[in-house]
Amino acid sequence: MDVQKHWNRIYLEKAPEAVSWYTPHLEASLAFIRQAAAERSSAIIDVGGGESTLVDDLISLGFENITVLDVSQTAIDVNKRRLGQAATGVCWLAADITRTELKPSAYDLWHDRAVFHFLTEAGDRSAYLQQVTRAVKPGGHVIVATFGSEGPTKCSGLDVVRYDVELLRTQLGDHFRLVDSLTSMHRTPEGKMQQFLYCHFRVEQDHQSSRLDQTPEDPPGTD
């Protein structure tokens, strides 16, 4: 499957407020980011930012170094149009997080709401974790939100992997120390309820030396 074509089609066919993951403000994400990023100069990357308004809220809070990455150029263009002139102060990357290569130690904080759970293949999860390991500074923060153990098994026509705290912690590995977690219920625009798991990890100082060659095991139920 061509991932880029799939997500471009989704974003072309549906308005930003019609996709199942839409919410006016990512309150849980913002709470974790406020807790983790004390300095407004902190370098933040929003992986899978899509048409999310998180970037709007980060700008409003005064954050000065924001990168938004999404596989869909269509979604990025929607965000740019919505932000207008403010979009020029954001770094925009149209890329597949499992295929691109980010600069080493470029970010203080990595945020991902609903990308990691689409990675049903161990190789893709390994590539994603290599990106995190390379791109986030030692001592930096990683905030990942996935469908919880009682969440949906599919989204936008694709299979997903559901996680609880221990399974997600195991997938990231020992060099990512769990700081906090939250399970919340998200109401879709159609009124359905979806369980999300948010986890905040701190990257250990020596993480780069021993994580890059490891491949995460398949979670239960991904055969």
Structural domains of the chain sorted by starting position, each given as residue range(s) with its CATH number in brackets = 3-211 (3.40.50.150)
Question: Digits of tens for pLDDT over the chain (223 positions)?
Answer: 788 887 878 777 887 777 877 788 999 999 999 999 989 999 999 999 988 999 999 999 999 999 999 999 999 999 999 999 999 999 999 999 999 999 999 999 999 999 999 999 999 999 999 999 999 999 999 999 999 999 999 998 899 999 999 999 999 999 899 999 999 999 988 888 999 999 999 998 765 544 444 555 666 555 5
Residue 99: its H or E element: none
